[in-house]
Chains A and B, each alone.
Chain A
Amino acid sequence: MSEASKALNKRAAYVVDFARTPFLKARGGPGPFAGSDLAVAAGRTLLARQPFEPDALDEVILGCMIPGPDEANIGRVVALRLGCGAGVTGWTVQRNCASGMQAIDSALRNIAAGRSQLVLAGGTDAMSHSPVLLGRAMVEWLAAWQTARSLPARLGALARLRPRHLVPVIALLRGLTDPVVNLSMGQTAEIIARRFSIGRERMDAFAVESHRRLAAAQEAGVLGEIEPIFDDKGGHYLADDGVRPDSSVEKLAKLKPVFDRPFGNVTAGNSAQITDGAAWLLLASGEAVKRHQLPVLGRIVDVNWAGVDPAEMGLGPAHAVPPLLKRHRLRPERIDYWEINEAFAAQVLAVLAAWRDRDYSRDVLGLGAAFGEIDTARLNVDGGAVALGHPIGASGARIVLHVLDVLRRNKARYGVASLCIGGGQGGATLVDAAGAA
């Protein structure tokens, strides 16, 4: 055991293992795995390599935005399917794009409170399985049909059926639209792009770099966090499949804007992909680390949440990170590696611009000076959601586990993982890998 783990804090939350599925791009129609399938596939491998039995867990916390109709309280469904037994509780958290990070925060708090010692926390979503719903008019028509008993009543109901009744509601599109300000997520990205004067070319260049970095990481074989998964037909999936190593600014320039047509700048090419995936972290109190002799990969120091204007939801990280660092008396320069989820290239660039901007830092963030410049060589070093996708419930857990792995790889200490949250919030997690095994 290393230096740091000799001085284990009984109620601190240590990360002792993690695993995730490959992130699989939605390619039209439901993918081979439901959300719970993904979580089970990665989770059982992670549990299989532990020195303790699955029923030693205190709880399973799973972030998920789009559980299927058979996945009510998907956290409990997954806990049972993982063979944890009836005695291990399971629950589901939902904070939109940060659901997976919320799961980590909830685990952290329960460990800090002494209520849990060993928690499996993570996130999952099979966005390709998003339901297609009947419209309100159709639901009303169906209700009328069911009460119509006699033949004339039925014929009457049938005569009232119109083609417009059959127009389905695509739940995914509704979910990616803010119901309060009636803007799609892409439109909020357009707003902050304009605010910080981020043009199409910079967005596309950022996107190309994301693909390049992910491709390089795959090439170098550094994504050991991924566990292969297998579908019922015998297919196997080893790697994030949304990556385009041949992506280029020229190619991306050809894409049409999808949210603000025809003049916008945000395209499918410089936005996060619609993807299926799951990610887990195994968190243990200092006591549990000792009892089961677990290897410490790092410590979840703290999580911070911030609220922002829903129309500028992409700036969430700009608001969530500074108070977090301040609370722990850390200057941004002390952070060795950063993960900021790439919901949109424009949105990450806007966050960096906001931190660079003295006026924004002072007037909006309430800081004395500009928060600072983030070295992009230390940000999303292995690419991000533009290249590997953003399964809403899983990303918050993925960026935390990934920054931990990057710290380990580089023998560095502090990492921050942060993301913007649809509805106007930001979430940020500070991790400390000092003395990691």
Chain B
Amino acid sequence: MGAKGYRHWALARDAHGIAWASLDRAGAGANTLAIEVLEEFDGLLAELSADAPSGLVIRSAKPSGFIAGADVHEIAAVTEVDDAERLVRRVQAIFDRLEALPFPTLALIKGFCLGGGVEFALACRHRIAEDSPATRLGLPEVMLGFHPGWGGTVRLTRLIGAPAALDLILSGRTVDARRAKKLGLVDHAVPERLLEHAARQMLLGGARPRRPGLVARLSNQEPARSLIAPLIERKLRQRARREHYPAPFAALELWRRHGGDRRRMQEEEARSAARLALGETAQNLIRVFMLRERLRAAGKETAAGPVRRVHVVGAGTMGGDIAAWCALRGLEVSLQDRAPQYLGPAIARAHALFARKLKQRHLVQGAMDRLMPDPQGYGAARADLVIEAVIEDLGVKTELFQSLEARARPEAILATNTSSIPLEEIAAGMSDPKRLVGLHFFNPVAKMQLVEVVRAAGTARETIERAAAFVRAIDRLPLPVRSAPGFLVNRLLMPYLMEAVALVAEGVAPEAVDEAARRFGMPLGPVELADTVGLDICLSVARVLTGHFGGEVPGQLEALVAAGKLGRKSGAGFYSYAKGRRTGKKKAPQEIDRELAERMVMRLLNEAQACLEERVVEDADLLDAGMVYGAGFAPFRGGPMHYLAARGREQVLAQMLELAERHGERFQPHPALAGG
């Protein structure tokens, strides 16, 4: 037994003389590596060095997972590059000490093992991961705008070879235990029942550390580095722009220059990681990450208990995909539509989703069994939550909710996925509107993380809370919004899209408009986006919004829809498509007028100011979170309001006034913007 009392660690020795160090970070639900946690570990190593065990196992005492990475709040608190670099070097020293221990060490990984968690595990001699879908290993640092700094780039490239290692580091993607075993990231992927036994066997049996193969070893030497690096860079450029996301490029450069020299690489790794972490991109991405935590926190479980059964009415793209996603996340789902032929396509899409996500046959079958096509609507009477996703027609919805009120359990939540009908109008036809809430998903449901949780005047607070908890339980991000036309995301997107259409109408090539938006940092250009969403849908939302807030629906949009050109789904919109893919793609021009992006973005910012003023969302941070996760607004810019503040109100105001003068009063700044 350890003589010292540890706050975050528990140390025990078993009959074989193996020391078991269990991390249980005090006051946290998940293990993150604050400096304090690591310093304590260093003390623990000192204790062990004085009386060497036969081996050391490092594991988590938390059921949630192994280690989620560095403490992001701590990173965010550092303001000086020198301080950051010093802290990074300190952790590198602790991990070096761990690596140099004379006795064998082993990381026993259950659940998530991310970022600093992987770097910790890499400093151990062996790694065993639980073979379970819950186990995910990865280095997602680039998603926060920096790259691994605790020796991760050095150890991983050496352990599994540069191509595989850089793939993980540059993409930030995670892998499961089996894949990790295949890559060589862990020595074994074993089921839970054998984890401890396997750890003991490896430590006591004198297992040798895994040695990379010849190709993997050569990949870090010259001339391999000079040959591989440009290839990787070319692929990287297709995914990210260096000016927006410098971290992966820096990681690649680090390896290219120093990959052959371990010591030097680790030194440079610290310098580069520290510099990046304090850069604007990382600061904004960290901010966005914390906003994500805030959204998640809004979905706390309520006293009413979790939603177990969901009934979805309407098996179109939205309804079908919501149903499939819920079944994927373990809920029992019934999916209703007027007739069986409307259900079939949704079931087929669900099966494809399950096959892609779950892979194993029995898991796919389980998800299919949980998703019941229900043409008769039996599920409505049993559900904890009913979600309506039928056509946007008030009459149809009113009638539906009246019948649902009669059939559903009294405590069931009744939700609408409407994007354009004010909830109050639906509520008017109900006898008890307290349990009506909006759950506005975005398309495609499996990709878009945000769900707007819409509160009408009569919605009970408990209903909102339970709906938000449901959203969180299915691994989406709930954003509480007030019932107002377009809610938040569509309301802000629409002027941005309409300005793009106006630009095209003025004769600007759609490719140039899209490129301008992408250069600003949008993942998808507005014209592509409109085509993908469907021009008919854009038009109907635009009509609703202009009906409420004034403005004009561009004639070209109406003309395209009237001509049956609805975008990707119909084969033609602004662009043309064959089998859902763009045809006749033209290259965007090199020179893009800066004003293009300015015009689109300024309109979005202006609308954002209006939304805040009308309290559609509670505050500017939530607005930013909603636009990043619901519309993909350039994450590295930290969200629209953050961007506005960063550019300076005065400057933005001046820009708008100038645009208003030249292009009309749609650029007239919102009074709140002028008033400060």
Contact = CB atoms under 8 A, between A and B. Distances in A.
Contacts of A82: 369
Interface residues of A, number: 17
Contacts of B347: 230-232, 234
A232 B378 CA distance: 21
A45 B376 CA distance: 9
A171 interface: no
Nearest to A237: B340
A45 B344 contact: no
Contacts, number: 51
A236 B351 CA distance: 14
Nearest to B364: A232
Given A48-B378, A81-B365, A83-B332, A236 B372 contact: no
A44 interface: yes
Contact of A230 (B369, B373, B379, B381): B373
B360 interface: no
A68 B381 CA distance: 35
Interface in B575-607: none
A55 to B, nearest CB: 13
A82 B332 CA distance: 11
B279 interface: no
B322 interface: no
B603 to A, nearest CB: 41
Interface string A205-233: 00000000000000000000000101111
B673 to A, nearest CB: 50
Interface string A9-45: 0000000000000000000000000000000100011
Contact of B368 (A48, A232, A236): A232
A235 B344 contact: yes
A234 B340 CA distance: 10
Nearest to B346: A234
B327 to A, nearest CB: 12
Given A44-B369, A48-B334, A81-B369, A230 B382 contact: no
Nearest to A49: B378
A238 interface: yes
A228 B378 contact: no
A232 B348 contact: yes
Interface string A47-88: 011000000000000000000000000000000011100000
B341 interface: yes
B351 A232 contact: yes
**Chain B interface main SS type:** helix
A45 B368 CA distance: 14
A83 B368 CA distance: 12
A81 B371 CA distance: 12
Contacts of A83: 332, 369-370
B374 A48 contact: yes
B374 A230 contact: no
A14 B379 CA distance: 24
B375 interface: yes
A44 B376 CA distance: 13
Interface string B353-371: 0000000000001101110
Interface string B530-549: 00000000000000000000
Interface string A83-99: 10000000000000000
Given A48-B379, A83-B332, A233 B374 contact: no
A40 B378 CA distance: 16
Contacts of B213: none
Given A48-B334, A48-B372, A236 B378 contact: no
B343 interface: yes
A234 B372 contact: no
A298 B382 CA distance: 26
Contacts of B372: 44-45, 48
Contacts of A49: 376, 378, 381
A49 B336 CA distance: 14
A236 B341 CA distance: 7
Contacts of A40: 369
A305 B365 CA distance: 37
A236 B375 CA distance: 11
B671 interface: no
Contact of B375 (A228, A231, A235): A228
Contacts of B343: 230, 236
Contact of B378 (A45, A81, A230, A234): A45
B43 interface: no
B345 interface: yes
B340 A238 contact: yes
A230 B374 CA distance: 10
Nearest to A44: B372
B391 to A, nearest CB: 21
A236 B374 contact: no
B344 A234 contact: yes
A228 B373 contact: yes
Interface in A229-267: 230-236, 238
Interface in B552-569: none
Contacts of B334: 48
A346 B370 CA distance: 44
A311 to B, nearest CB: 42
A236 B369 contact: no
A44 B366 CA distance: 13
Given A40-B369, A44-B369, A48-B334, A234 B345 contact: yes
A45 B373 CA distance: 9
A81 B369 CA distance: 7
Contacts of B344: 230, 234-236
- Of the candidates A44, A48, A231, the one having the most CB atoms from chain B within 10 angstroms of its own CB is A48
Contacts of A232: 347-348, 351, 368
A233 B348 contact: yes
Nearest to A81: B369
Contacts of B348: 232-234
Nearest to A238: B340
Interface string B365-406: 110111011111011011000000000000000000000000
Contacts of B376: 45, 49
A83 B343 CA distance: 22
- Of the candidates A40, A228, A231, the one having the most CB atoms from chain B within 10 angstroms of its own CB is A228
A236 B346 CA distance: 11
Contacts of A235: 344
Interface string A281-316: 000000000000000000000000000000000000
Contacts of B378: 45, 48-49
A259 B334 CA distance: 46
B375 to A, nearest CB: 6
Contacts of B381: 49
Contacts of B368: 232
Interface in A175-199: none
Contacts of A231: 347
A76 to B, nearest CB: 14
Contacts of B332: 83
A228 B351 contact: no
Given A234-B345, A234-B347, A45 B340 contact: no
Interface string B177-206: 000000000000000000000000000000
A407 B76 CA distance: 75
A331 B368 CA distance: 49
A118 B245 CA distance: 62
The 7 A-B residue pairs with the shortest CB-CB distance, nearest first, are A234-B348, A234-B344, A48-B378, A49-B378, A232-B351, A236-B340, A228-B340
24 contacts: A40-B369, A44-B369, A45-B372, A45-B378, A48-B334, A49-B378, A81-B366, A81-B369, A83-B369, A228-B340, A228-B373, A228-B375, A230-B344, A230-B347, A231-B347, A232-B348, A232-B368, A234-B345, A234-B346, A234-B348, A236-B340, A236-B341, A236-B343, A236-B373
Given A228-B375, A236-B343, 8 more contacts: A48-B374, A49-B376, A49-B378, A81-B365, A81-B369, A230-B347, A232-B351, A234-B347
Interface of B: 332, 334, 340-341, 343-349, 351, 365-366, 368-370, 372-376, 378-379, 381-382
